[in-house]
């Protein structure tokens, strides 16, 4: 299982998080200000990651690159 945790710092994110941001995206959960993405394979993980990044971009939300962690196999 591949996991990615991204830190998003935005008040708009909190508003969107539980409504429209990830409602149509499989393999993705939002916990507080983290975005957790997983997949059965690296290919599936990466496809989901790009869908999440596209969704964030469409909503004009930016990630803090220094706080992003990609392709982790566990959460701490």
pLDDT of residue 24: 78
The yes-or-no verdict on residue 1 having pLDDT over 50 is no
Per-residue pLDDT at 20: 64
Residue with tokens 């708009």: 12
According to the model, what pLDDT value does residue 46 have?
Answer: 92
| Mean pLDDT along residues 49-57 | 88
Calculate ∠ Cα 27-43-16, nearest 5°. 30
In the chain, % of residues over pLDDT 70: 72
Structural domains of the chain, with CATH: 2-72 (3.30.70.270)
Name the residue with higher pLDDT: 71 or 53.
53
């Amino acid at each position: 299982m591949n996991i990615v945790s991204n830190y998003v710092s935005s008040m708009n994110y909190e508003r969107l998080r539980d409504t429209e941001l990830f409602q149509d995206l499989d393999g993705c959960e939002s916990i507080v200000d983290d975005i957790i993405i997983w997949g059965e394979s690296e290919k599936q993980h990466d496809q989901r990651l790009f869908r999440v990044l596209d969704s964030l971009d469409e909503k004009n939300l930016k990630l803090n690159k220094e706080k992003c962690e990609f392709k982790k196999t566990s959460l701490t």
